[in-house]
């Protein structure tokens, strides 16, 4: 099974944008972005193993290993400039993927990190160790999952194993300070995010030697980008200097 979902291949596009989902998320989270990105950008969303159409595949339990697998899968798609966007867990994975790509001589042109603490300041909250009700409560607090769906025992049995795996993966992540990333970074955060505030997001400046890291603050909580999708995409396109879609 391939690692990326592409709603529309665009041979004419000048750039590819790779989007990495949050803990418990899947490629469908970014599906609606394709049209609004416009014709100049081809969207590829990462589908992690163990969920959705990769449900039969084993979960990856280590962030470094998952990053290596994603970076390797990107290799054939780096024949044109590429940018990375990651939300929450996906931001840290995107950062590690960017470092790997840079080491291999094919760095992305930009890294967008959304709703995420910087890699060297992950905090000490442990969600993966909670029981099922505690895990569901944490998801409800973050706001990214339909609480009613997770009241269904059969759906819980299907969904919670990979959700728990993802939280364990990112909570066990250990940052290696070297090599320093030399790719431009933009941090994005919701003004009411209980997981990361703008001051903490500014710490991403320590993760790159490519200059200042602007912090873009949007109205909303941890999943601010759902309601602010158009504004976020417009910001990405401005930063990448590609035409804004219709």
Task: Find the helix or strand (DSSP H, E) in which 215 lies.
Answer: strand 215-218
Look-up: residue for tokens 């949007």? 218
Q: Is 14 a catalytic residue?
A: no
Q: Can you tell me the distance from the alpha carbon of 62 to that of 45, in angstroms, rounded to the nearest whole number? A: 20
Closest alpha carbon to 96 in 81, 75, 79, 111: 111
Catalytic residue list contains 222: yes
Catalytic residue among 26, 88, 110, 114, which? Answer: 88
How far is CA 67 from each of CA 32, 54, 86, rounded to the nearest angstrom? 24, 17, 12
Give the C-alpha separation, 244 to 246, whole Å. Answer: 7
User: Catalytic pick from 22, 44, 110, 222?
Assistant: 222
Please give the positions annotated as active site: 88, 222
């Amino acid at each position: 099974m391939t690692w990326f979902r592409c709603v529309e291949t665009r041979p004419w596009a000048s750039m590819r944008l790779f989007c990495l989902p949050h803990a418990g998320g899947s490629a469908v989270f970014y599906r609606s972005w394709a049209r609004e990105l416009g014709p100049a950008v081809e969207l590829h969303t990462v589908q992690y193993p163990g969920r959705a159409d990769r449900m039969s595949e084993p979960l990856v339990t280590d962030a470094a290993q998952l990053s290596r697998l994603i970076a390797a899968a990107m290799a054939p798609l780096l024949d044109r400039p590429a940018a990375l966007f990651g939300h929450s867990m996906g931001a840290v994975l995107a950062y590690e993927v960017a470092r790997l790509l840079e080491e291999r001589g094919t760095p992305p042109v930009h890294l967008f990190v959304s709703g995420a603490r910087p890699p060297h300041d992950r905090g000490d909250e442990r969600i993966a160790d909670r029981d099922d009700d505690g895990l569901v409560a944490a998801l409800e607090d973050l706001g990214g999952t339909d609480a009613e769906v997770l009241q269904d025992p059969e759906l819980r049995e299907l969904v919670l194993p990979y959700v728990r795996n993802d939280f364990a993966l990112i909570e066990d992540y250990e940052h290696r300070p070297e090599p320093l990333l030399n790719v431009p970074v933009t941090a994005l955060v919701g003004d009411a995010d209980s997981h990361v505030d703008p001051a903490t997001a500014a710490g991403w400046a320590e993760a790159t030697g490519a200059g200042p890291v602007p912090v873009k603050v949007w109205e909303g909580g941890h999943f601010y980008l759902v309601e602010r999708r158009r504004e976020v995409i417009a910001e990405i396109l401005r930063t990448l200097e590609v035409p804004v879609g219709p």
